Amino acid sequence: MSRTLPVRAALAVAALAAASLGACASDDDCRGIACGAALPPVTVVVRGVSDAVVTVARPDGVAVQIACSAGDPDTYCDANTAEGSQPGTYVVHAEAIGYEPADREVVVDATPPGGCCNPGYLGQTVTLDLEPSP
């Protein structure tokens, strides 16, 4: 399977969700609409490493290890922590045995209020490449 397929799928879902945020003009228009789980504020792809451990420092300063699934050869992670999902700056830290750790700041922008199923932010996807340890 192509390594870019899951990333493209995640970006397509994010674009679709962003397009539907303004679909309702008022809260009354949203009655009866079942909203699924909000997209994570940060999705992380660690390329070429199937066993990466990823930690994210949320905008509120709390660092959490996030759920990841091993791919072949990549690791896919969603920083979806319900109580801490919000716009702001997230710091992603990834590490794996035999590789140098990597850090990346990710800015998650707020979305305007309103619209059905609006989580209040526009999720971001970040891809990290870990360098082998010397």
pLDDT in tens, 5-32: 454 444 444 444 444 444 444 556 788 8
Q: Kindly indicate the confidence band of residue 108, based on its pLDDT and cuts at 50, 70 and 90.
A: very high
CATH number of 4-129: 2.60.40
3-state helix, strand, coil in the chain (%, to 5): 20, 35, 45
Task: State the average pLDDT for the chain.
Answer: 79
Number of H helices, E strands in the chain: 2, 9
Segments of the chain assigned E as strands = 42-47, 53-57, 63-65, 67-70, 75-78, 88-95, 102-110, 121-122, 124-129
pLDDT for 80:
66
C-alpha R_g of the chain: 16
Statement: the pTM of the whole predicted model exceeds 0.85: no
Q: How many residues does the chain have?
A: 134
